[in-house]
Structure 1
Amino acid sequence: MAAGAAQDVPETRTPREIRVIMVGLVITMLLAMLDNLIVGTAMPTIVGDLGGAEHLSWVVTSYTLATAASTPIWGKLGDLYGRKGTFIISIVIFLVGSALAGLSQTMGELIGFRALQGLGAGGLMVGVMSIMGALVPPRDRGKYQGMFAGVMAIAMIGGPLVGGFITDHLNWHWTFYINIPLGAVALLVVTATLHLPKLRSNARIDYLGAALLTVGITALVLITTWGGQQYDWASGQILGLAVLAVVTLVGFVLTERRAEEPMLPLGLFRNRNFTLVSVIGFLVGFTMFGSVTFLPLYQQSVQGASATNSGLLLMPMMLGMLVVSLAVGQAITRTGRYRIYPILGTGVMAGGALLLSTLGTDTTRFTSSVYMVVLGAGMGFLMQVTMLVAQNSVELKDMGVASSTATLFRTIGGSFGVALFGALFTNRVTATMTDLGVSGGKEQTAQLTPSVLKTLPAAFQNAYHHAVSNGIHSVFLWGAVVSVVGIAAAVFLKEVPLRGAGNASGATADAGEGSATELAGAH
């Protein structure tokens, strides 16, 4: 067992070998990020073809639930049984789910196959990040992680464009089939070029912990998906889900304290940096997904932008995030220091949210684009640094768990952000319409598209523009408050030296330390 544990120490690889492996990892991450964006554009056509509009939300919800619930499980399985094998299995499941979703003939089939697809997707992001953590020392990881920020920008901008093109010129089935050639290339590259030690643990899988965590996460996601939309926040359904979430998550904590090989080792949270970056990741997801949801609505409804190229509306924010993320990655690789960037990032993000809270009916597109660049820059300081600090805070044997936990906190933060900001936005819009003496209840304004708005009387349009601007003001004002909480968390981060620091002696010391920790942690 000692020999097997020692094998888990990362092997030295040339930059060229890493770049080749990165091709497969980048394509896989692109798959994970593109899917929902492409499918979202095609949903009206899919509903028109398959019917079942009343089940429309479940096409997205089933995928999201399966992804969120499986994320921590994939991370732990990779730590126990080898990251390459579990990563390949997750890609295969995702591709099978994509093929079956494309073949769907009913809405029920599509919902089920989307859940299967989401199950595989939960392992894609975690696999990419944990394999990166196993291949590249933290000190050198920044220059590669900037590539993933670029992939996110491409996905956010290109996803709706590709989805629109496929829907208009092919048919909606190809929104799923397009994953297959991309996934096949990723599968071939990963299988041929990625060589990691084969692990085989004798530890028992923590089935009870996995079940409790899955139920708890599912309840949380359903609360944020249904709350204020399908059910009132004070309804029995939402309160029941809240009780279920609390009971199962408390049970999960108690189970993990006694488990031989816990699904999520609670001892990780004794590390101050790991806990703090988990909080920061939650807040980044909270603010980022809220922005992505409501900015296009403002630009289309108030500024009259076209909905056809909706992905392009977010380009200023994505460019700001991309440029800063690349620069920060290079700086971390060069200096080995990172603590300043989360502080700067949360501060700049708060400033960007505060600027966006000033958007009004007469704000120009240029001005709003500048504000979006500021918000994107703040996210650029944070996106990859949070993952880097989380991975640097744990031993190599827990790399998968660290990666999945960081991803999970960001995902849950996004779910809460969209839900709470959505409730805040809707209430403010409705209240403003009422104050201006224009009838426009929740049902009417929720179904109001930009094209329909243009056909309504000028007085209604003017009132609605003011209402949306007020809603945006509330959303981003609270977004700034949330970001200030992130500043407080970032200030308490410790500057822990990154493993694999540039010189030879440091690398040797780190390798020795890695071997010792692996031997000590082997079961």
Structure 2
Amino acid sequence: MGKAAEAQTSRLSASRLDGDTTSSAVSMLEKETGDHWAPREGEGEPTQDAENQEPSASSSTEIIAAENVENTDYVTGYKLGLLLVSVTTFFFLLMLDMSIISTAIPQITSDFHSLEDIGWYTGAYQLTSATLQPLTGRVYTRVSAKWVFLFFFFIFEVGSLLCAVSQSSVMFIIGRAVAGMGSSGLQNGALTVISGAVPMEKRPIYMSIMMAFGQTGLITGPLIGGVFTQYVTWRWCFYINLPLGGLAGLFLSVLHVPDQTSKPRVSFKLLREIIPDLDLVGFAIFAPAAIMFLLALQFGSSEYPWSSSTVIGLFVGAGVAFPIFLYWEYREGDKAMIPFSMIRKRIVWVSTLQFTGLATSVFIGAQFLPIYFQSVKGVGPTLSGVYMLPNILSSVLFIVMSGALITRLGYYLPWAVVASAGTTVAAGLISTWAPDTETGLWIGYQIIYGLRGCGIQVGLFALQYALPPAQSALGTAFLIFCQNFSAAVFAVVGNTIFTQTLLKEIVRLAPSVDPQAALAAGGSAEAVRSLVPQGSPELAGVIQAFATAFDTVCYMLIACAGLSFVASFGMGWVDVRKKKEPEKGDV
């Protein structure tokens, strides 16, 4: 047996396993992968000169088996605190970047005269993030999470810089796409880092803390973006990522970050070895399919008629490529970028539906709520952010409270149901907002909307508990992929609903206003009110048209949250405080 294999075997021996560690680990590997290993003819006990030989198939299997055994090298004390602060800072900036643009979008569209591009400002980010997400899951299963995480954050920072110095709408969209590429490995990476740092029974509270601050970034983003847009420049919405991210990256680079399973040290040799295991063929099929589908949605909603050959051709191309991708993934088995053996487990796809439906409702809501406050209520970017404080504070409160109680009480199902039901009801109430909606009503409805915090992290807890350590990173990546892909699709769908409703309502309520001029004006209070002469009786019609367009988008939020509510009941009555009972062949 080679030295590398001996090192892995010694790690296995330290894991307090019953009986023969290696055989148990191999049994577990066989159970998870469906492959059965037996020594080849002539193999047996290692000879005296075995250390001078290349590792055999059996030693390779032992190494792979070791990767399926959970590492118990957890972080404690002040080191855990520093690690949590660093990763939470990254998570905060990531969530902040997703929403800080919302109050800046009206001004950006006015500066670039590009209201028709509003879907791309979020869609380009979500497109690249969702496309790369499954591939990053494969990377995290083989390479140290710390260095993979820092690599993707560097790309994210480059994208932020491009957005900050953009001179045109096209350049800004490119910057958002690059930032999205970086984000593809950050959200799931942050969750993977925490999973390796603390034991299962403590993950709910630590992940809740991280996600609470992340939700703070997601919800305070409009307020911060409003301040920058109104008093400095919207470009600082992206400059802010550079110093804060650089400081957090410096701390993380010197901290010990344990992996959930044993992994070799990062080297060029390791990178050469894992490339064949990344399912690059599957990625090469999946990426064009996803891009063609999202491009078809974007082009059909803005530049081309839905019946045009360009849009139809893109839909057809995606429709042809996607079944080919599914066949390839099925053929690859557990080596696939998205293993079917994992996603066909009920807890995986149900948790994914619950998480995706709820998160999509949150993301789209964060994009359009500032449009309502600015275009309809007529306030500036800063005050529109202040008007969203009830949403912010209630969400953070419910996230931290639910995380602490799940850790103490153990059961996550009730929180998922309450969160989804509350969000569905709140979206329905928000869809009644009009130009004359009273302050008490829009504050109260946002507090109810904050109930989503009770269950925004529950799908992740369920997935972490149900999957073995070797599939934890893959499962997390799949969950975040579905969330980002759904957000990318519904960002475009939401923009289409908004713009088409606005065009129809402007013609009906303000006939003298050119509908295309209304689109080009953007969503800022000043731009909307400049569409008609001062004192014009048609101003009320213009404002009502924007209010109706916003309300129509809320119907989509109701549907997404409703899907999450239905899926919640399939997550099972599980106590995460209890250790999973080992099955035959498990470690």
- 2:557 maps to what in 1? 479
Q: Which has the larger radius of gyration?
A: 2
CA distance in 2, matches of 1:479, 1:61: 17
Which deviates the most, 303-312 or 35-44? 35-44
Q: Is the 8 A contact 1:300 1:306 kept in 2?
A: yes
Residues 230, 382 of structure 2: 8 Å contact kept: no
- The one-letter amino acid of 2:572's match is K
* 2:442 is the counterpart of 1:364: no
Conservation of the 8 A alpha-carbon contact between 2:130 and 2:484: yes
1:380 deviation in Å? 0.9
Other-structure match for 1:408 = 481
Aligned pair in 2 of structure 1 residues 354, 110: CA closer, same or farther (>3 Å)? closer
Shift of 1:255: 0.7
Equivalent-residue separation in structure 2 for 1:300 and 1:107 (angstroms): 21
Match of 2:130 in 1: 68
SS of corresponding position for 2:332: coil
Stretch deviating more after TM superposition (20-29 or 7-16): 7-16
Could you tell me which residue of structure 1 aligns to residue 525 of structure 2? 450
Q: 1:66 to 1:320 in 2, by over 3 A?
A: same
Task: Find the aligned partners of 2:119 and 2:239 in 1 and give their Cα distance.
Answer: 21
Point out the more displaced range, 179-188 or 439-448: 439-448
CA contact (8 A) 2:123 2:488 kept: no
Alignment match, 1:125: 187
Instruction: Give distance in 2, aligned partners of 1:56 and 1:476.
Output: 17
Structure 1 partner of 2:547:
469
TM-fit CA distance, 1:374: 0.8
Distance 1:160 1:465, change over 3 A: closer
Deviates more, 1:288-297 or 1:8-17: 8-17
Alignment partners' CA distance in 1, 2:70 and 2:150: 18
Q: Does 1:327 align with 2:401?
A: yes
What is aligned with 2:345? 271
Question: Do the aligned residues in 1 keep the contact of 2:160 with 2:175 (CA within 8 Å)?
Answer: yes
Pair 1:243-2:316 in alignment: yes
1:439: how far off? 4.1
CA deviation vs aligned residue, 1:120-141 (integer Å, no higher than 9, x gap): 2211112101222222334322
Superposed CA deviations along residues 253-281 of structure 1, whole A, max 9, x for unmatched, are 11111226111112212211110121223
| Equivalent pair of 1:70/1:119 in contact (CA under 8 Å) | yes
Superposed CA RMSD: 3.4
SS at match of 1:91: helix
Taking structure 1 as reference, are residues 204 and 348 closer, same or farther at Cα in structure 2, changes over 3 Å only? same
Q: Matched residue of 1:257: which SS?
A: helix
- Conservation of the 8 A alpha-carbon contact between 1:79 and 1:401: yes
CA distance in structure 1 between the partners assigned to 2:229 and 2:375 by the alignment: 24
Kept after mapping to 2: 8 A contact 1:213/1:248: yes
Amino acid at match of 1:454: R
Whether the aligned pair in 2 keeps the contact of 1:271 and 1:393 (CA below 8 Å) is: no
How far is the alpha carbon of 1:462 from its aligned partner? 1.6
Larger % of helix: which? Answer: 1
Determine the C-alpha separation between the residues in 1 that align with 2:175 and 2:542.
39
The CA deviation string for residues 142-199 of structure 1, in whole angstroms up to 9 with x for no partner, is 2122223332343235435555665677777755443332222222222222332434
242 and 413 in structure 1: CA distance in 2 versus 1, 3 angstrom threshold: same
Tell whether 2:365 aligns with 1:300.
no
Distance 2:256 2:423 in 1: 37
Distance 1:497 1:36, change over 3 A: closer
Within the alignment, does 1:438 sit opposite 2:511 as a pair? Answer: yes
CA distance in 2, matches of 1:487, 1:47: 35
Structure 1 unaligned segments of length 5 or more: list them.
none
The 3 A distance-change label for structure 1 pair 47 and 282 is closer
CA distance in 2, matches of 1:407, 1:323: 23
Aligned to 1:489: 567
Q: Is 2:147 the counterpart of 1:85?
A: yes
Could you tell me how far 1:110 is from its partner in structure 2? Answer: 6.0
> Secondary structure of the equivalent of 2:141?
helix
- Which moved further from structure 2: 465-474 or 405-414? 465-474
Q: Distance in 1 between matches of 2:341 and 2:114?
A: 46
Q: Hey, what's the Cα distance between the residues in 2 that align with 1:266 and 1:5?
A: 20
Match of 1:134 in 2: 196
Q: Which of 309, 315, 331 matches 2:389?
A: 315
* 2:103 and 2:381 in contact (8 A); partners too: no
Matches within 5 A, 1:42-191: 62-99=124-161, 112=174, 114-163=176-225, 175-191=237-253
* Stretch moving more, 2-11 or 22-31: 2-11
2:301 is paired with a residue whose SS is: coil
| Displacement of 1:108 | 6.8
Alignment of 1:340-351 (within 5 A): 340-351=414-425
Cα deviation for residue 372 of structure 1 reads 1.4
C-alpha deviation, 1:112, in angstroms: 5.0
AA matched with 1:117: A
| 2:263 match | 198
Q: Work out whether residues 506 and 545 of structure 2, in 8 Å CA contact, stay in contact via their aligned partners in 1.
A: yes
**Cα distance between partner residues in 2 of 1:458 and 1:109:** 37
Report the alpha carbon displacement of residue 488 of structure 1 after superposing the two structures with TM: 2.0
Give the AA of the match of 2:184: G
CA contact (8 A) 2:211 2:457 kept: yes
SS of match in other structure, 1:495: coil
Tell me if the contact between 1:228 and 1:423 (Cα under 8 Å) persists in the aligned partners.
yes
What residue is the counterpart of 2:5 in the other structure? Answer: none
Output the CA distance in 1 between the equivalents of 2:120 and 2:436.
37
Partner residue, 1:429: 502
Tell me what 1:219 maps to.
292
Separation of aligned partners in 1, 2:303 and 2:350: 34
Q: Which of 396, 404, 418 is the matching residue for 2:469?
A: 396
CA gap of 1:75–1:312, structure 2 versus 1, over 3 A, is farther
Task: Give a deviation string over 1:481-503, Cα, whole Å, max 9, x none.
Answer: 443333222222212342xx26x
Could you tell me which runs of 5 or more consecutive residues in structure 2 were left unpaired when the two chains were aligned. 1-59, 265-269
Q: Which amino acid aligns with 1:399?
A: S
CA deviation after TM superposition for structure 1 residue 26, in Å: 0.9
- One-letter amino acid of the structure 2 residue matched with residue 313 of structure 1: Y
Contact 1:75 / 1:404 at 8 angstroms: preserved in 2? yes
TM-score (norm 1): 0.85
Quick check: 2:161–2:238 contact (8 Å CA) kept in 1? yes
Provide the C-alpha distance between the structure 2 equivalents of 1:50 and 1:447, rounded to a whole number of angstroms: 9
Conserved in 1, the CA contact under 8 Å of 2:201 and 2:407? yes
Counterpart of 1:34 in structure 2 is 96
The answer to whether the 8 A contact 1:153-1:319 is kept is no
CA distance in 1, matches of 2:299, 2:71: 45
1:479 is displaced (CA, Å) by 2.9
Matched residue type, 1:490: S
**Cα gap change, 1:293 to 1:393, in 2 (>3 Å):** same
Q: Which amino acid aligns with 2:151?
A: I
- Aligned partners of 1:17, 1:414: CA distance in 2, in Å? 35
Check if 1:287 corresponds to 2:352: no
Determine if contact 1:224/1:415 at 8 Å carries over to the other structure. no
2:283/2:337 contact within 8 Å kept = yes
Deviation string, structure 1 residues 355-376 (Cα, Å, up to 9, x no partner)? 1122223211221121111112
Q: 1:486 to 1:64 in 2, by over 3 A?
A: closer
